[in-house]
């Protein structure tokens, strides 16, 4: 596509603009006739998606057609790039899931690589979250290389707990391989977290969740991560995973530039209440939008959509819409090395929306192609 044009209000500047684009943005010009209630922003980037639209990315048998259903549903939320996320499981199942997703990924460029969340996490109740305890295991460089081989080197993000012996050396090796390492699902000490950051870890995964029910006032691993200025942090802002006071304080600690919105969406996201699967786990979407381990109240991912996450962080935490959009677009893109922005030469990955609760997605473009329209 060459020379297509859209117009609206640039969310980052508040200026009415006209954007000419092909596969990349060719020009951005002031346009006083642009609609004042139709906003344009860089496409949203979701670093943690376990599944969507009834489809579980941890199932190694899912088909291209099933993934197409999930991807189209994700695009409709304004997300133009995302990391399918494989959680703790058996070595064989994790490898099979990654290999299957990698083969399918060739048809869906919005799949920007992969996030492996686990299996090198805390084994205790609380930090482990909903991950199956029997498959939690220490970091293994050879296992990581098998993941990379299965995905043609497209592991972009690994979440682990730095409490394991040798974790710092493992983190340093992954960082040398240009993989982003995140601290998460952890009960690590302050020294272990500091060693992880010194080794190159740059993110905290869904900070405030996957933690012990009771913590020391200080020190504890939440304060340690909030106080570490070298760590960005992702948050699940669905009004369920985090209380408002913690979210407000956490965002003040991290600041707009180091805050990242993720959905942690599981298969029930965008689907009807009822039973689903998350890897080997039976989960359930309740009528009030909670994803829980079947028969319990224990959270197991979310049903959050990114357009709602942005509206939620504006309403709950009191940030501006501009900052909320940055938390869902430029910040996660920068972390994993994706180019993002409404400027000449940048990929024509952008979303058009109207202000509502949640944001009303009007159109989504990826590499200049319109991949979703509400019309």
Rounded Cα–Cα distance for residues 271 and 255 (Å): 33
Question: 278 forms bridges with which residues in the sheet?
Answer: 281
Q: How many CB atoms lie within 10 A of CB 318?
A: 12
Active site includes 264?
Answer: yes
Tokens of residue 94, six digits:
């994790």
**Cβ–Cβ under 8 Å, residues 95 and 150:** yes
Tell me the three-class secondary structure of 54-94, residue by residue.
CEECCCCCCCHHHHHHHHHHHHCCCEEEEEEEEECCCHHHH
Tokens of residue 317, six digits:
């935490």
Integer CA distances (angstroms), 230 to 55, 193, 211, 244, in order:
35, 11, 21, 24
Distance of CA 68 to the CA centre of its chain: 19
Q: Which of 46, 56, 264, 349 is an active site residue?
A: 264
Query: Strands 350-354 and 360-366: what pairing?
Result: antiparallel
Rounded Cα–Cα distance for residues 64 and 17 (Å): 38
Closest CA to 199 of 232, 163, 167: 167
Which residues are part of the catalytic machinery? 264
């Amino acid at each position: 596509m060459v020379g297509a044009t859209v117009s609206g209000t640039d969310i980052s500047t508040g200026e009415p603009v006209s954007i000419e684009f092909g596969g990349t943005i060719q020009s951005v010009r002031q346009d006083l006739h642009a609609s004042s209630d139709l906003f344009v922003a860089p496409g949203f980037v979701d670093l943690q998606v376990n599944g969507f639209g009834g489809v579980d990315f941890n199932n190694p048998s899912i088909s291209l057609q099933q993934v197409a259903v999930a991807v189209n549903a994700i695009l409709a939320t304004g997300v133009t790039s995302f990391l399918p996320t494989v959680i703790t499981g058996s070595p064989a199942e994790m490898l099979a899931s990654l290999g299957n997703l990698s083969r399918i990924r060739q048809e869906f460029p919005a799949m920007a690589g992969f996030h492996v969340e686990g299996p090198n996490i805390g084994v205790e109740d609380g930090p482990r979250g909903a991950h199956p305890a029997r498959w939690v295991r220490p970091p293994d460089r050879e296992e990581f290389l098998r993941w990379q081989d299965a995905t043609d080197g497209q592991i972009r993000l690994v979440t682990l707990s730095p409490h394991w012996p040798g974790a710092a050396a493992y983190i340093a090796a992954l960082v040398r391989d240009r993989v982003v390492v995140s601290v998460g699902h952890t009960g690590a000490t302050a020294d272990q977290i500091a060693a992880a950051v010194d080794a190159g870890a740059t993110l905290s995964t869904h900070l405030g969740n996957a933690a012990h029910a009771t913590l020391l006032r200080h020190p504890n691993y939440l304060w340690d991560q909030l106080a570490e200025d070298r760590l960005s942090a992702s948050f699940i802002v669905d009004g369920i995973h985090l209380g408002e006071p913690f979210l407000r304080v956490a965002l003040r600690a991290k600041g707009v530039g180091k805050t990242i919105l993720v959905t942690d969406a599981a298969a029930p996201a965008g689907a009807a209440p009822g039973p689903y699967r998350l890897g080997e786990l039976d989960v359930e979407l309740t009528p009030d939008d909670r994803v829980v381990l079947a028969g319990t109240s224990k959270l197991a991912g979310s049903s959050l959509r990114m357009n709602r996450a942005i509206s939620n962080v504006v309403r709950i935490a009191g940030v501006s819409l501009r900052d909320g959009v940055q938390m869902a677009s430029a910040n996660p893109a920068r972390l994993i090395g994706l180019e993002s922005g409404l400027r000449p030469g940048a990929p024509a990955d952008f979303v058009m929306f109207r202000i509502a609760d949640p944001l009303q997605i009007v159109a989504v473009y990826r590499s200049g192609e319109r991949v979703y329209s509400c019309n």
